[in-house]
Structure 1
């Protein structure tokens, strides 16, 4: 003698399974939104002001202070590239790995923007 579940129980289980699958897809699809580089990026401006940005977004180009930065500390979990331009372009750049610091020479151009490597 075999026992089968009533049709309402089967429909309920199917609905729960379908809802769980849709929820999983929705969470996976949105997981890239708002990703941040965990930790701070700190820099010293030409006026010796220290600016600290906590967990900035990993997407896009980030401008530094108007007078630029002479020293940049990457204390995030993601590597960055520094640029002397305001729009993260150009040949004059420096790669700064996570937990490292870059300090400009006295006659070098200041860093004006950065982006994350991801």
Structure 2
């Protein structure tokens, strides 16, 4: 019966891996923020909960994480009057049009 024990152990390890991934509190990957061509910030494995404020307004954001995020023109992840937000899919980037305000914050979209 060594074969069934090995199989059971492999299944147990696989289930543990799935459970740990489901309980993850961090987005795997990076969020890269730029102002024009200048790098402003790179966040590695940021927490998925809460609002994340950029140190200054950014015009370009690359979502290199495994989670979707929402960009905001307000520093507190809200949409003020005349402001906007933008949904950014996994692996996508966004360029702000020159007539809009820069992105000041982001939050991860609920899954």
Q: What TM-score do you get using the length of structure 2 for normalisation? A: 0.71
Extract structure 1 runs of 4+ deviating beyond 4 A: none
Deviation for aligned residue 1:50: 4.0
CA distance in 1, matches of 2:95, 2:40: 13
- Structure 1 position 48 matched with structure 2 position 38: yes
Contact 1:45/1:65, CA 8 A, preserved across alignment: no
Correspondences of 1:2-81 after superposition (within 5 Å): 32=23, 35-45=25-35, 48-66=38-56, 68-81=57-70
State the SS of the aligned residue for 2:49. Answer: coil
Coordinate RMSD, CA, aligned: 2.0
- Structure 1 position 92 matched with structure 2 position 81: no
State the SS of the aligned residue for 2:87. Answer: strand
Unaligned runs of 5+ in 1: 1-27
**CA deviations over 1:68-107 (Å, ceiling 9, x no partner):** 1100000100000000000000151000000000001122
Q: What TM-score do you get using the length of structure 1 for normalisation? A: 0.67
Q: Which has the higher strand share?
A: 2
